[in-house]
Structure 1
Protein backbone atom coordinates (compact mmCIF):
# COMPACT_ATOMS: atom_id res chain seq x y z
CA UNK A 1 0.00 0.00 0.00
CA UNK A 2 2.87 2.37 0.78
CA UNK A 3 4.11 2.17 -2.81
CA UNK A 4 0.67 2.90 -4.21
CA UNK A 5 0.49 6.01 -2.02
CA UNK A 6 4.01 7.03 -3.06
CA UNK A 7 3.12 6.63 -6.75
CA UNK A 8 -0.05 8.64 -6.14
CA UNK A 9 1.97 11.41 -4.45
CA UNK A 10 4.51 11.34 -7.28
CA UNK A 11 1.73 11.83 -9.83
CA UNK A 12 0.30 14.67 -7.70
CA UNK A 13 3.80 16.19 -7.46
CA UNK A 14 4.22 16.21 -11.22
CA UNK A 15 0.74 17.52 -11.86
CA UNK A 16 0.57 20.27 -9.24
CA UNK A 17 4.18 21.41 -9.71
CA UNK A 18 3.69 21.43 -13.48
CA UNK A 19 0.49 23.46 -13.22
CA UNK A 20 2.24 25.89 -10.87
CA UNK A 21 5.13 26.47 -13.28
CA UNK A 22 2.70 26.77 -16.20
CA UNK A 23 0.60 29.36 -14.35
CA UNK A 24 3.64 31.45 -13.45
CA UNK A 25 5.12 31.31 -16.96
CA UNK A 26 1.85 31.75 -18.91
CA UNK A 27 1.95 35.58 -18.88
CA UNK A 28 5.53 35.46 -20.16
CA UNK A 29 4.53 33.19 -23.03
CA UNK A 30 1.80 35.68 -23.97
CA UNK A 31 4.18 38.65 -23.73
CA UNK A 32 6.71 37.13 -26.12
CA UNK A 33 3.93 35.78 -28.33
CA UNK A 34 5.19 32.22 -27.96
CA UNK A 35 3.14 29.52 -29.59
CA UNK A 36 2.36 27.87 -26.27
CA UNK A 37 -1.13 27.54 -24.78
CA UNK A 38 -1.87 29.80 -21.84
CA UNK A 39 -3.28 28.26 -18.69
CA UNK A 40 -6.03 30.89 -18.81
CA UNK A 41 -7.34 29.41 -22.06
CA UNK A 42 -7.36 25.92 -20.56
CA UNK A 43 -9.27 26.90 -17.41
CA UNK A 44 -11.58 29.35 -19.15
CA UNK A 45 -10.43 32.61 -17.54
CA UNK A 46 -9.26 35.89 -18.99
CA UNK A 47 -7.09 38.54 -17.39
CA UNK A 48 -8.47 42.05 -17.63
CA UNK A 49 -5.97 44.03 -15.50
CA UNK A 50 -2.37 43.89 -14.34
CA UNK A 51 -3.36 42.58 -10.90
CA UNK A 52 -4.82 39.59 -12.70
CA UNK A 53 -1.32 38.44 -13.67
CA UNK A 54 -0.25 38.64 -10.04
CA UNK A 55 -3.33 36.67 -8.97
CA UNK A 56 -2.64 34.04 -11.62
CA UNK A 57 0.96 33.68 -10.46
CA UNK A 58 0.06 33.69 -6.78
CA UNK A 59 -3.11 31.65 -6.58
CA UNK A 60 -2.66 29.24 -9.48
CA UNK A 61 1.14 29.33 -9.60
CA UNK A 62 2.30 29.59 -6.02
CA UNK A 63 -0.41 27.46 -4.48
CA UNK A 64 0.07 24.64 -6.98
CA UNK A 65 3.86 24.79 -6.62
CA UNK A 66 3.49 24.51 -2.85
CA UNK A 67 1.12 21.55 -3.07
CA UNK A 68 3.49 19.85 -5.51
CA UNK A 69 6.47 20.37 -3.22
CA UNK A 70 4.57 19.06 -0.18
CA UNK A 71 3.52 15.96 -2.13
CA UNK A 72 7.15 15.40 -3.15
CA UNK A 73 8.32 15.59 0.48
CA UNK A 74 5.47 13.26 1.43
CA UNK A 75 6.91 10.54 -0.78
CA UNK A 76 9.86 10.21 1.63
CA UNK A 77 8.30 10.90 5.06
CA UNK A 78 5.28 9.22 6.68
CA UNK A 79 4.55 12.38 8.65
CA UNK A 80 4.54 14.53 5.50
CA UNK A 81 2.76 11.80 3.57
CA UNK A 82 -0.15 12.12 5.98
CA UNK A 83 -0.06 15.94 5.76
CA UNK A 84 0.03 15.75 1.95
CA UNK A 85 -2.97 13.44 1.82
CA UNK A 86 -4.86 15.61 4.33
CA UNK A 87 -4.16 18.73 2.27
CA UNK A 88 -5.18 17.04 -0.99
CA UNK A 89 -8.33 15.71 0.66
CA UNK A 90 -9.28 19.14 2.00
CA UNK A 91 -8.33 20.99 -1.19
CA UNK A 92 -10.05 18.72 -3.71
CA UNK A 93 -13.02 18.10 -1.42
CA UNK A 94 -13.56 21.84 -0.96
CA UNK A 95 -13.32 22.56 -4.67
CA UNK A 96 -15.74 19.71 -5.45
CA UNK A 97 -18.13 21.01 -2.78
CA UNK A 98 -18.04 24.45 -4.37
CA UNK A 99 -18.90 22.92 -7.73
CA UNK A 100 -21.80 20.98 -6.18
CA UNK A 101 -23.18 24.09 -4.47
CA UNK A 102 -22.81 26.10 -7.70
CA UNK A 103 -24.65 23.41 -9.65
CA UNK A 104 -27.71 23.93 -7.44
CA UNK A 105 -28.17 27.40 -8.96
CA UNK A 106 -30.58 27.23 -11.91
CA UNK A 107 -29.11 27.50 -15.43
CA UNK A 108 -25.50 26.84 -14.40
CA UNK A 109 -23.19 24.60 -16.46
CA UNK A 110 -23.29 20.83 -15.89
CA UNK A 111 -21.69 19.62 -12.68
CA UNK A 112 -19.74 16.72 -14.10
CA UNK A 113 -16.56 17.62 -15.96
CA UNK A 114 -13.01 16.26 -15.98
CA UNK A 115 -11.91 18.57 -13.14
CA UNK A 116 -14.81 17.42 -10.94
CA UNK A 117 -14.08 13.76 -11.63
CA UNK A 118 -10.41 14.29 -10.73
CA UNK A 119 -11.39 16.04 -7.49
CA UNK A 120 -13.80 13.30 -6.43
CA UNK A 121 -11.30 10.53 -7.24
CA UNK A 122 -8.49 12.32 -5.40
CA UNK A 123 -10.71 13.03 -2.39
CA UNK A 124 -11.84 9.39 -2.27
CA UNK A 125 -8.30 8.02 -2.55
CA UNK A 126 -7.07 10.30 0.24
CA UNK A 127 -9.96 9.32 2.55
CA UNK A 128 -9.24 5.65 1.87
CA UNK A 129 -5.47 5.96 2.42
CA UNK A 130 -5.82 8.01 5.60
CA UNK A 131 -8.39 5.65 7.14
CA UNK A 132 -7.17 2.22 6.09
CA UNK A 133 -3.36 2.43 5.90
CA UNK A 134 -2.33 1.77 9.51
CA UNK A 135 1.06 3.55 9.54
CA UNK A 136 -0.70 6.77 8.47
CA UNK A 137 -3.58 6.28 10.86
CA UNK A 138 -1.20 5.98 13.80
CA UNK A 139 1.26 8.76 12.83
CA UNK A 140 1.14 12.27 14.23
Structure 2
Protein backbone atom coordinates (compact mmCIF):
# COMPACT_ATOMS: atom_id res chain seq x y z
CA UNK A 1 0.00 0.00 0.00
CA UNK A 2 2.70 2.46 1.04
CA UNK A 3 4.80 1.70 -2.04
CA UNK A 4 1.80 2.29 -4.31
CA UNK A 5 0.97 5.58 -2.58
CA UNK A 6 4.59 6.70 -2.99
CA UNK A 7 4.37 5.73 -6.67
CA UNK A 8 1.17 7.76 -7.11
CA UNK A 9 2.60 10.73 -5.24
CA UNK A 10 5.77 10.78 -7.33
CA UNK A 11 3.90 10.21 -10.60
CA UNK A 12 1.35 12.99 -10.04
CA UNK A 13 3.86 15.38 -8.45
CA UNK A 14 6.41 14.77 -11.18
CA UNK A 15 4.19 15.47 -14.15
CA UNK A 16 2.34 18.25 -12.33
CA UNK A 17 5.47 20.15 -11.33
CA UNK A 18 6.98 19.73 -14.78
CA UNK A 19 3.91 21.01 -16.59
CA UNK A 20 3.10 23.87 -14.25
CA UNK A 21 6.53 25.31 -15.08
CA UNK A 22 6.76 24.12 -18.70
CA UNK A 23 3.32 23.57 -20.25
CA UNK A 24 4.91 23.74 -23.71
CA UNK A 25 6.43 20.32 -22.99
CA UNK A 26 3.01 18.81 -23.75
CA UNK A 27 3.44 19.70 -27.40
CA UNK A 28 6.48 17.50 -27.92
CA UNK A 29 5.22 14.38 -26.19
CA UNK A 30 1.41 14.59 -26.44
CA UNK A 31 0.76 16.95 -29.33
CA UNK A 32 -1.03 19.44 -27.06
CA UNK A 33 -0.15 23.12 -27.42
CA UNK A 34 -1.43 26.39 -26.02
CA UNK A 35 -2.31 28.93 -28.70
CA UNK A 36 -2.81 31.86 -26.32
CA UNK A 37 -1.70 32.93 -22.83
CA UNK A 38 -5.13 31.81 -21.59
CA UNK A 39 -4.50 28.39 -23.12
CA UNK A 40 -1.11 28.21 -21.41
CA UNK A 41 -2.75 29.08 -18.09
CA UNK A 42 -5.34 26.35 -18.69
CA UNK A 43 -2.61 23.78 -19.33
CA UNK A 44 -0.83 24.87 -16.16
CA UNK A 45 -4.07 24.57 -14.19
CA UNK A 46 -5.28 21.21 -15.52
CA UNK A 47 -1.98 19.43 -16.10
CA UNK A 48 0.05 21.18 -13.43
CA UNK A 49 -2.17 22.29 -10.59
CA UNK A 50 -4.65 19.43 -10.65
CA UNK A 51 -1.93 16.79 -10.80
CA UNK A 52 0.01 18.47 -7.99
CA UNK A 53 -3.17 18.39 -5.90
CA UNK A 54 -3.70 14.69 -6.56
CA UNK A 55 -0.06 14.03 -5.65
CA UNK A 56 -0.61 16.06 -2.48
CA UNK A 57 -3.54 13.83 -1.59
CA UNK A 58 -1.29 10.78 -1.94
CA UNK A 59 1.23 12.45 0.36
CA UNK A 60 -1.56 13.10 2.87
CA UNK A 61 -2.49 9.40 2.77
CA UNK A 62 1.13 8.49 3.49
CA UNK A 63 1.22 10.81 6.50
CA UNK A 64 -2.32 10.15 7.75
CA UNK A 65 -3.38 6.51 7.26
CA UNK A 66 -7.04 7.33 7.98
CA UNK A 67 -7.13 9.13 4.61
CA UNK A 68 -5.89 6.17 2.58
CA UNK A 69 -9.27 4.83 1.50
CA UNK A 70 -10.41 8.33 0.50
CA UNK A 71 -7.24 8.96 -1.49
CA UNK A 72 -7.53 5.59 -3.22
CA UNK A 73 -11.10 6.53 -4.14
CA UNK A 74 -9.94 9.92 -5.45
CA UNK A 75 -7.17 8.39 -7.54
CA UNK A 76 -9.45 5.68 -8.89
CA UNK A 77 -12.16 8.15 -9.89
CA UNK A 78 -9.76 10.66 -11.43
CA UNK A 79 -7.72 8.05 -13.31
CA UNK A 80 -10.93 6.31 -14.42
CA UNK A 81 -12.42 9.56 -15.67
CA UNK A 82 -9.29 10.45 -17.59
CA UNK A 83 -9.10 6.94 -19.06
CA UNK A 84 -12.76 7.09 -20.06
CA UNK A 85 -12.27 10.40 -21.83
CA UNK A 86 -9.12 9.10 -23.48
CA UNK A 87 -10.92 5.97 -24.74
CA UNK A 88 -13.71 8.11 -26.19
CA UNK A 89 -11.06 10.25 -27.85
CA UNK A 90 -9.35 7.19 -29.35
CA UNK A 91 -12.67 5.91 -30.66
CA UNK A 92 -13.59 9.26 -32.21
CA UNK A 93 -10.12 9.91 -33.66
CA UNK A 94 -9.55 6.33 -34.76
CA UNK A 95 -5.95 6.59 -33.59
CA UNK A 96 -3.89 5.18 -30.70
CA UNK A 97 -0.40 6.61 -30.23
CA UNK A 98 2.34 5.22 -28.02
CA UNK A 99 1.75 8.17 -25.69
CA UNK A 100 -1.97 7.36 -25.48
CA UNK A 101 -1.30 3.68 -24.84
CA UNK A 102 1.19 4.43 -22.07
CA UNK A 103 -1.19 6.94 -20.44
CA UNK A 104 -4.06 4.43 -20.60
CA UNK A 105 -1.83 1.79 -19.04
CA UNK A 106 -1.08 4.09 -16.10
CA UNK A 107 -4.71 5.17 -15.72
CA UNK A 108 -6.38 1.77 -15.99
CA UNK A 109 -3.82 0.03 -13.78
CA UNK A 110 -4.28 2.81 -11.21
CA UNK A 111 -8.04 2.22 -11.19
CA UNK A 112 -7.64 -1.53 -10.68
CA UNK A 113 -4.99 -1.24 -7.97
CA UNK A 114 -6.96 1.48 -6.15
CA UNK A 115 -10.07 -0.71 -6.13
CA UNK A 116 -8.16 -3.73 -4.84
CA UNK A 117 -6.36 -1.79 -2.12
CA UNK A 118 -9.50 0.07 -1.01
CA UNK A 119 -11.38 -3.21 -0.76
CA UNK A 120 -8.55 -4.67 1.32
CA UNK A 121 -8.59 -1.63 3.61
CA UNK A 122 -12.33 -1.88 4.12
CA UNK A 123 -12.15 -5.59 4.89
CA UNK A 124 -9.38 -5.11 7.43
CA UNK A 125 -11.09 -2.12 9.05
CA UNK A 126 -7.97 0.01 8.54
CA UNK A 127 -9.94 2.76 6.80
CA UNK A 128 -11.37 3.74 10.19
CA UNK A 129 -8.04 3.95 11.98
CA UNK A 130 -6.23 7.23 12.49
**Superposition TM-score tier, normalisation by shorter sequence:** 0.7 to 0.9
For structure 1, the residue ranges without an aligned partner over 5 or more in a row are: 31-37
1:132 Cα deviation after fit: 2.2
| 2: CA distance, partners of 1:25 / 1:103 | 28
Q: TM-score, normalised by structure 2?
A: 0.84
Over aligned residues, Cα RMSD in angstroms?
A: 2.2
| 1: CA distance, partners of 2:118 / 2:129 | 10
| 2:67 corresponds to 1:71 | no
Give CA deviations for 1:74-124 in whole Å, capped at 9, x if unaligned.
01222221121111100111111222333443x521387111111111000
Q: TM-score, normalised by structure 1?
A: 0.79
| 2: CA distance, partners of 1:16 / 1:76 | 17
Which of residues 95, 116, 124 in structure 1 aligns to 2:112? Answer: 124
Q: Tell me the matched-pair count.
A: 126
Give CA deviations for 1:13-53 in whole Å, capped at 9, x if unaligned.
111111111111115xx7xxxxxxx2332222011111011
| 2: CA distance, partners of 1:93 / 1:59 | 16
| 2: CA distance, partners of 1:94 / 1:109 | 19
| 1: CA distance, partners of 2:126 / 2:113 | 13
Q: Which runs of 4+ in 1 moved over 6 A?
A: none
Q: Which has the larger displacement, 62-71 or 39-48?
A: 39-48
Residues 42 and 92 (structure 1 numbering): CA distance in 2 closer, same or farther, change over 3 Å? same
Which of residues 7, 12, 28 in structure 2 aligns to 1:11? Answer: 7
